[in-house]
Chains A and B, each alone.
Chain A
Amino acid sequence: MRPMRNVPVAVAVVKKEEKMKLSDELLNAAQNFGKILGETKQVKDFKSAELNTINDAESAELENRLNVLYTHLASQEQAGTALERGELDEYYLLRRKVMGNPLISAREDQRQMVKLLFADVNQTMTAILGIDFTILAL
């Protein structure tokens, strides 16, 4: 089963991993880069669209139901249990509803704009480093 693309994974989360100590220069450069990215229209629009889905009870409830069902199905699949047709049908129906929700759809459109921008900028880093930054960062 492929990961769902409508789960709001792009929103920053507080990571619990221990961060390596960066030199002051690197820390400043990473902060400056993060700051200017955060000030772009793409990121602002995405955050705004994300907030709209969070604040809308129907969107939030739809996504929550989808996430719960997805987690349930994924854990069954991982355990080697055959997935029930009824549950799969429910999942696909729910996913269609989620993707058809105008607020969620608007957020996903904005997410694509963020991805285009980030991928474009990442090429600048890749050209300098000689390797794709994301390969070692993920």
Chain B
Amino acid sequence: MEELNLNLDPNLMYGDSIEGVRNQATELANLIKESQDFQELLRLGKLINLDPEVNRLIQAIRIKEQAYSDESDSSLAELHRQLEALPAFENYMKAENAARDLFKSIDQVITEVAGVEYASNAKRSSCGCGG
């Protein structure tokens, strides 16, 4: 006899309603993806990935962070300052902030209508404590 695994089959776990919810999620995600703010974030994200100076500074920050122990060492802050001063990175951060505003507003609408906070409950726990 076939064994049912409720944890692996969301339709059994949640009932038929999951398909309707997924359809609405798909529609919403497609609209977000088409939005100007999100497209700009993707465009600028690709640009900074190709920017050698941005990549050099990010790499230097990563190395510094791994080895960082002396709180009086200001070189990490200086690297951050240099990175943030680069026009390509500055533009990317502006686009990210605009995308954040968009996502937060969407989350607010979902939350208000559903009556339960969406993003904070949808966020996967990283602690492995089941939360």
Binding site for B on A (CB under 8 A): 5, 9-15, 17, 19-23, 25-27, 29-43, 46-47, 111-112, 114-122, 124-125, 128-130, 132-134, 136-138
Contacts and interface: CB of A to CB of B under 8 A. Distances in A.
Q: B-side binding surface: helix, strand, loop or mixed?
A: helix
Interface in B92-110: 96, 99-110
Given A34-B112, A121-B22, A128-B29, A138 B120 contact: yes
Nearest to B109: A30
Q: A-side binding surface: helix, strand, loop or mixed?
A: helix
B117 A29 contact: no
B83 to A, nearest CB: 20
B122 A118 contact: yes
Interface in B74-91: none
B10 A120 contact: yes
Interface stretch (B11-19, B51-59, B60-68): B11-19
Contact of B29 (A19, A129, A134): A129
A118 B104 contact: no
